[in-house]
A and B are shown apart, each in its own frame.
Chain A
């Protein structure tokens, strides 16, 4: 099925460990985004890639890095995980910047717990 695929779906890390969240879309979308969702905080933009070859910081980039590997793939890396990074992470993509008529397509999320 066409869409956004995120891996893994669940992860438990110890403080200080590193990991990479993978995201791939097969809709030929130009823009890709990483969000985190926390109770009472809504969706907060971590990093985004407006087009292949570009990446930029969002609202809450500290502690994260990203790579736009190609048009399909956009990964998020936690270099040294902290308990404050416990959250649900969503990758999204869109054909047009800010979504346009069809909006954003979201992955099913990665539930990350840092202990």
Chain B
């Protein structure tokens, strides 16, 4: 079952604009991770935010986490054509040692030059 749900499913913006995508989840978590997948390639880990963190930055990426709303957002600032990809969130549920990452269905981002 897919816990993470990203929205929007698809997003199209112009180069230089900011892109925001959201992830909602259902159970309490240890952390939430964001990944990027370029067309025809494997997923690449972007950033991890722990449940006790509210905001994290990495270069042009800004991730926020609101555990009370069970949601996270990924902001890409000053987007570039090379940011065109699908973005996935994955949650690490707070469910003991046998827990597994739960993946969302992804947001497809198109950055137009």
Q: Is the CB of B106 within 8 A of A99?
A: no
Chain B interface size band reads: 20 to 34
Question: A71 CA to B87 CA in the complex, in Å?
Answer: 29
Q: Is the CB of B100 within 8 A of A90?
A: no
Q: Which residues of B contact A42 (CB under 8 A)?
A: 2, 88, 103-106
Q: Give how many A residues have a beta carbon under 8 Å from the other chain's beta carbons.
A: 24
A/B pair count, beta carbons within 8 Å: 56
Asked whether any CB of chain A lies closer than 8 Å to the CB of B33, the reply is yes
Question: A48 CA to B99 CA in the complex, in Å?
Answer: 12
Question: A48 CA to B45 CA in the complex, in Å?
Answer: 19
Residues 45-70 of chain B, each 1 if its beta carbon lies under 8 Å from chain A, else 0: 10010000000000000000000000
Q: Is the CB of A109 within 8 A of B41?
A: yes
Within the complex, what minimum Cβ distance (angstroms) separates A86 from chain B? Answer: 16
Question: A105 CA to B42 CA in the complex, in Å?
Answer: 9
Which of A43, A101, A109 meets B88, CB within 8 Å?
A43
Question: A100 CA to B45 CA in the complex, in Å?
Answer: 11
Asked whether any CB of chain A lies closer than 8 Å to the CB of B11, the reply is no
The answer to whether residues A90 and B106 also contact, given A48-B100, A103-B35, A103-B48 and a CB cut-off of 8 A, is no
Task: Report which B residues bind A (CB closer than 8 A).
Answer: 1-2, 30-31, 33, 35, 40-45, 48, 88, 90, 92, 97, 99-101, 103-106
Task: Report which A residues bind B (CB closer than 8 A).
Answer: 4, 40-43, 45, 48, 58-59, 90, 92, 97-109
